[in-house]
Amino acid sequence: MARSIRLILALTLLVALAAATVATASAGGRKVLDSTMAGLPVPSTVLNGLTGGGAPWQIENGRVLLFADGRLHVEVEGLIIPAQGRNPVPQGKAVVTCGETVAAETALVPFSEAGDAEIDTVVDLPDPCHGVAVFFTNATGRWFAVTGF
């Protein structure tokens, strides 16, 4: 009898774990990118076809999460031009590249003088998207920070 109860409990646990795994996978798909960000070290650096801003930028903290279903979360904190001690740009956006090709851009979001911005959106990604990188840019696409560091 005790053996039957243990078997039923073990099977119930396995079913619950399998259901949780399926729910998690279908809720957002697989994670494509989970990365920190680095500021632009040298002005006008070209990376993946995007040109950097006209001054060096530094970042205190930057984080990007991108899922196969296109959900994108970008958070930058303290992204500033060190020589000015602030961010002079009022708005920013994220640009997703697949290799050397721009795959998606987000709408503009507020970008504080302290260098803080947050983006939560869904983008359309090509399939496949190899060599994915996410940039934080100004309205014209000049980048200030990029994933991979």
d(CA 91, CA 112): 8
d(CA 40, CA 79): 10
d(CA 24, CA 60): 31
d(CA 149, CA 147): 6
Residue 17 domain flag? no
Sign, CA dihedral 28-134-102-87, equals positive
Residues above pLDDT 90, as percent of the chain: 77
Number of structural domains found in the chain? 1
User: Is residue 135 scored above 70 in pLDDT?
Assistant: yes
Range of the domain at 112: 29-147
**Location of structure tokens 């983008």:** 123
Coil vs helix vs strand at 56:
coil
Residue 81 domain flag? yes
Tell me the whole-structure pTM to 2 decimals.
0.81
User: Is residue 19 scored above 70 in pLDDT?
Assistant: no
